[in-house]
Amino acid sequence: MSEEAIKIGLLGLGTVGSGAYKIIEKNQDLLKSRTGIGFEVTKILVSNPQKKRRVNVPQELLTTDTSSILHDPQIDVVVELMGGVTASYHYIKEALEQGKYVVTANKDLMATKGEELHRLAAEKNVKIFYEASVGGGIPLIRPLQNSLGANRILRIMGIINGTTNYILTKMSLESMDFDSALAEAQAKGFAEKDPSSDLEGWDAAYKLAILARLAFDSAIDIDDVHREGISMVDIRDIQYAKELGFTIKLLAIGEDLEKGIALKVHPTLVPLNHPLASVNHEFNALFVEGDAVGEVMFFGRGAGEMPTGSSVVADLMDAAREIKLGDKSPSLQPSEKRNILPVSELVSPFYLRLQATDEPGVFGYLATVFGGENISLDMIIQKRSEGGIAEIVLVTHAVQEKKLEAALNKVHKFAAIERVASVYRVIEKK
Ligand code: NAP
Ligand code: HSE
């Protein structure tokens, strides 16, 4: 390896670490011709050096000694691909303290400790890059920071979790059951170590917090994001939605509204002719609406070894250019926290599935309750009746969430209503 090679210490050689390592090996010449710099992985931290790997790596590169990476003065860049928020946080902090550049794919950490880590990096005159933390192989962080930097961003909306999109796609297109679809997503390396992070919407919430920080120039706490996952999505809702001309997707939505910022992650009925409806399997897509550019859509593989490795190595190339050529990219500027709107203030059409005893007066009662709250119904259909229990599907016109809540409180009290089985927000058909 030539004198000017950048020396890299990897923390982690799982799905993403293997992808990054393979790209550095395979595209060595290309990386060098594009940057004028060689890339050399000199050490790799793992928890079990004897484990069978998905990539061929010289055994002597593997270590369990963190200090041999963080305190090696030869290592220029530490690439954190372990996941988790405890050990990774301490290792990243230590790497920055030691004056090393850091690249990470860790959205949990960047969403919760990003401000602090950026501040520390600035103090030490180094940088932390995190393109792979959102959208896998799709460039999202840099476009928001650079190419769309002249815009006031009005809205970001999209599918930013590959695992849940894979599951919902399999349930919808192949009627596969939830657990089998999850097992496939795990086998393909999309799912987090703790899959509840994907299923309960945490992963998408972390990613939305990272994007919203850049889009709306505000500090964002993870609790600012209203979050609902997909574990309650029933195959019946998917079927009914299809009959009504919709598919169900886990959407992440951030909006810069008159009175503040709205941030939410939830399963949503998306019209079948909407571009997001055909984003399937592990693919992700994000709409960004800017006041100058209008709508821009980003689409690609949001998870997996090579797509995510692609973003990691692109960050490494930027880090290498800064270190070896002094080619500085912009730093994240500190931001005040803006007003975050509670979800009760937000407005959306809703899909509801109710189970009721099949008796006269139920439709009349529902019409009175919703009418009393000034909620206009787009449709109300009795889907089927089994064992004396009728399933009723309602779709409302746009309604403020606190008004819907008030109506549902009354619906719950009506003896004939056995259960409000599902409540989902709807993207209006155009
Ligand atoms: P993974 O397959 O579970 O790999 C984790 C790696 O880190 C393993 O090599 C493991 O060692 C090592 N490791 C974990 N804790 C360690 C510790 N305390 N000390 C030493 N080594 C440790 O995880 P992954 O899917 O590659 O994800 C890595 C990061 O990328 C996460 O932050 C994740 O959210 C993010 N990400 C993942 C994807 C994806 O598609 N998978 C996409 C975007 C972002 P052993 O191999 O010895 O067990
Ligand atoms: N678990 C994440 C997903 C990996 O399924 O999208 C990519 O961040």
Residues catalogued as catalytic = 207
Q: Is 19 in the pocket of ligand 1 (CB under 6 A)?
A: no
Contact between residue 141 and residue 210 where contact means Cβ atoms under 8 Å apart: yes
Q: Give distance in angstroms: CA of 189 to centre of ligand 2.
A: 9
Architecture of domain 6-137+305-325: 3-Layer(aba) Sandwich (3.40)
Q: Is 10 in the pocket of ligand 1 (CB under 6 A)?
A: no
Residue 203 burial (CB count, 10 A): 30
Tell me the torsion sign for CA atoms 76, 22, 87, 329. Answer: positive
pLDDT band at 296 (very low <50, low <70, confident <90, very high): very high
pLDDT tens digit string along 40-93?
A: 999 999 999 999 998 999 999 999 999 999 999 999 999 999 999 999 999 999
Q: Which CATH number applies to 149-301?
A: 3.30.360.10
Query: Which atom of ligand 1 lies nearest, measured to the CA of 189?
Result: 41
pLDDT tens digit string along 106-143?
A: 999 999 999 999 999 999 999 999 999 999 999 999 99
Q: Give distance in angstroms: CA of 111 to centre of ligand 2.
A: 14
Spatial CB neighbours of 109, under 8 Å, sequence gap ≥ 6: 85, 88, 89, 92, 117
pLDDT band at 3 (very low <50, low <70, confident <90, very high): low
Q: Give the number of the ligand closest to the Cα of residue 106.
A: 1
pLDDT above 60: residue 219: yes
pLDDT above 70: residue 1: no
Q: Is 191 in the pocket of ligand 1 (CB under 6 A)?
A: no
Structure tokens at 30: 């290309």
pLDDT at residue 172, as a whole number: 97
Protein residue closest via CA to atom 2 of ligand 1 = 14
* Sequence spans of domains, the chain: 6-137+305-325, 149-301, 343-426
Pocket test for ligand 2, best of 16, 107, 131, 161 (most atoms within 8 A of CB): 161
**DSSP H or E stretch at residue 300:** strand 294-301
Q: Looking at the whole model, is its pTM more than 0.75? A: yes
- What span, in angstroms and rounded, lies between the C-alpha atoms of 326 and 84? 32
Pocket test for ligand 2, best of 190, 206, 210, 251 (most atoms within 8 A of CB): 190
Protein residue closest via CA to atom 41 of ligand 1 = 190
CATH match of 343-426 with 3.30.70.260 = yes
pLDDT band at 359 (very low <50, low <70, confident <90, very high): confident
